[in-house]
Amino acid sequence: MTYSTLAMSIAESPTLRLNEEARLLRERGAAVIHLGIGEPKNRAPLSAILSAASKLNTGDIKYSPTDGIPSLKKAIIRYTEENYDRLVAPENVIVSAGAKQSIFNILYSILNPQDEVIILAPYWVSYPEIVKMCYGVPIVVRPEDGSFHPRFEEIERVVTSSTKAIILNSPNNPSGIIFSDEFLAKIVDFCERKGIYIIADDIYHKLVFDGKHPTPAYKFSTKDSENTKIIAVNGVAKLYGMTGFRIGWAIAPRKLVQVMTNVQSQVTTCVSPFLQDAAEGALTGLQSIVDQLRLTMQNNRDVMMQELHAFTGIKCVKPQGTFYCLPDFRAYKQDSVALSDFLLKRAYVVTVPGKEFGMEGHLRLSYAGSIKDVTDGIARIKWALDPNSPNEIYIGDKKMIRDWL
Ligand SMILES: Cc1ncc(COP(=O)(O)O)c(C=O)c1O
């Protein structure tokens, strides 16, 4: 049996693979701590649940318009006006099954084979794979100074006549940093002059800490909604902790939205209408839930930083948003895949190898879980790696003795 060469070249999502490994270990009774998790533990907002339930109660769940139900699009337009200072038309909005599908639709709709897409390391694991699925070529730019903040000059250097788009993700998964206004202004101006698309993945844009108010890339565009090269991507997954509802959207010039709608119509027809109702409920309901989530994550971040500061040899840039950090573990091991595997097998802690995000030698740690997950998780990692830490630890009710250092 043979399979598509392209499909066979697509890597499995490492985060989803780790979720499965953790689940299997738990099934066998291991007290696993999941620091790889990409979702907060909150309940979905009541307004979202009620809205979806009332639609389900009608029993009338049928196909809906491919680009999204009008009332959700209206809520997204209001959201865009409030957060991006832009009044867009319904024809500028397309709802998809998560921001992931939005990004796929965009890339599928703009790329010709061999077109290049610039991806800034550290990057979300799915970007290079989605670019490849759309016959494009991912061009990864790594900050030469070893920081996590991209530098304009380094990006400019890799631009060629084949450059079609650049993906910006700020606040950033996995580093948690926010791109500076100065950088965004420069890159938006450059791309709009050169005709290069900017895909601004703003999925974490309200999960920001210490009173910061990052400016979305869209705000730097001097072009109107039909001529801008910026495509803004957002969704309810992270903002409201509604990952399982699978609702994301893109704001783009209407011609592009039409192309994306055609693509989506041939792939998934539409997004489930009662899940769209849930997203509408979240967007139009009480917004204090977002603040609560943000403050919880900020507190978790602080605990994570405190634990990492007390960890000999570990360096970590303080996240300004999201629920991730990307500490440097090179003092212990260069190979992040081997390190992550070792920590899962020996200490039952799930981490995600930095290599998957284009940052070898690092591990992505999530603080989306509980404070206890953070403190116990780091204590276990310390026990597994640091010879100066006590060589006995309790994992669940099992006393574990370290015999490898
Ligand atoms: C940067 C980034 N973009 C997009 C997504 C996907 O969002 P959704 O669940 O809405 O597809 C994720 C999920 O982890 C993410 O980290």
Nearest Cα to Cα of residue 179 among 230, 122, 222 = 122
Q: Which whole number is the average pLDDT over 163-186?
A: 97
Q: Which whole number is the average pLDDT over 359-388?
A: 96
Q: Computed over its alpha carbons, how large is the radius of gyration of the chain?
A: 21
Specify the ligand 1 atom closest to the Cα of 38.
14
pLDDT, tens only, 134-147: 999 999 999 988 78
Q: How far apart are CA 28 and CA 288, in angstroms?
A: 39
Q: Which whole number is the average pLDDT over 354-380?
A: 96
Q: Which whole number is the average pLDDT over 248-270?
A: 97
Q: Which two tokens stand for residue 277?
A: 């109702």
Of 102, 173, 236, 325, the residue with max ligand 1 atoms within 8 A of its CB, to mutate for a pocket test, comes to 173
Q: How far apart are CA 68 and CA 246, in angstroms?
A: 13
Residue 282: burial class (beta carbons within 10 Å; 0-12, 13-18, 19+): buried
pLDDT reported for residue 352:
96
Cα 61 → chain centroid = 30
Q: Residue 106 to residues 65, 78, 166: CA-CA distances in angstroms?
A: 18, 22, 12
Task: List phi, psi (to 5°) of 235.
Answer: 180, 180
14 preceded by a cis bond (ω within 30 of 0): no
Give the three-state DSSP class for 392.
strand
pLDDT reported for residue 273:
97
Q: Which whole number is the average pLDDT over 385-404?
A: 90
Ligand 1 midpoint to CA 99 (Å): 6
pLDDT, tens only, 308-324: 999 999 999 999 999 99
pLDDT grade for 17, boundaries at 50, 70 and 90: confident
pLDDT averaged over every residue in the chain:
95
pLDDT, tens only, 30-49: 999 999 988 998 999 999 99
Q: Which whole number is the average pLDDT over 272-297?
A: 96
Specify the ligand 1 atom closest to the Cα of 100.
11
Residues of the chain with pLDDT > 70: what percent? 100
Q: Report residues whose beta carbon is within 6 angstroms of any ligand 1 atom.
A: 38, 98-100, 124, 169, 173, 201, 203, 235, 237, 243, 248
pLDDT reported for residue 14:
81
For 58-284, which CATH class?
alpha beta
**pTM of the predicted model as reported, rounded to 2 decimal places:** 0.95
174 preceded by a cis bond (ω within 30 of 0): yes
Residues of the chain with pLDDT > 90: what percent? 90
pLDDT grade for 170, boundaries at 50, 70 and 90: very high
Ligand 1 midpoint to CA 390 (Å): 38
Q: Residue 342 to residues 37, 89, 173, 207, 349: CA-CA distances in angstroms?
A: 18, 51, 23, 31, 9
Q: Which whole number is the average pLDDT over 172-176?
A: 97
Of 131, 238, 352, the residue with max ligand 1 atoms within 8 A of its CB, to mutate for a pocket test, comes to 238
pLDDT at 256 over 90: yes
Q: What are the residue ranges spanned by the domains of the chain?
A: 5-43+288-401, 58-284
- Whose tokens are 């909005």? That residue is 93
pLDDT at 21 over 90: no
pLDDT at 19 over 90: no
pLDDT at 109 over 90: yes
- For 307, how many CA atoms within 13 A lie in the half-sphere containing its CB? 23
pLDDT reported for residue 397:
84
Specify the ligand 1 atom closest to the Cα of 247.
10
pLDDT at 154 over 90: yes
Specify the ligand 1 atom closest to the Cα of 322.
16
pLDDT grade for 114, boundaries at 50, 70 and 90: very high
pLDDT grade for 85, boundaries at 50, 70 and 90: very high
pLDDT at 117 over 90: yes
Of 100, 131, 177, 357, the residue with max ligand 1 atoms within 8 A of its CB, to mutate for a pocket test, comes to 100
- Whose tokens are 């998780």? That residue is 377
**CB 110: neighbour CB atoms within 10 A?**
20
Ligand 1 midpoint to CA 14 (Å): 14
Q: What contacts 378, CB < 8 A, 6 or more positions away?
A: 304, 307, 308, 311
Of 124, 206, 275, 276, the residue with max ligand 1 atoms within 8 A of its CB, to mutate for a pocket test, comes to 124
pLDDT reported for residue 145:
82
* The CATH number fitting domain 5-43+288-401, selected from 3.40.50.720, 3.20.20.60, 3.90.1150.10, 3.10.129.10: 3.90.1150.10
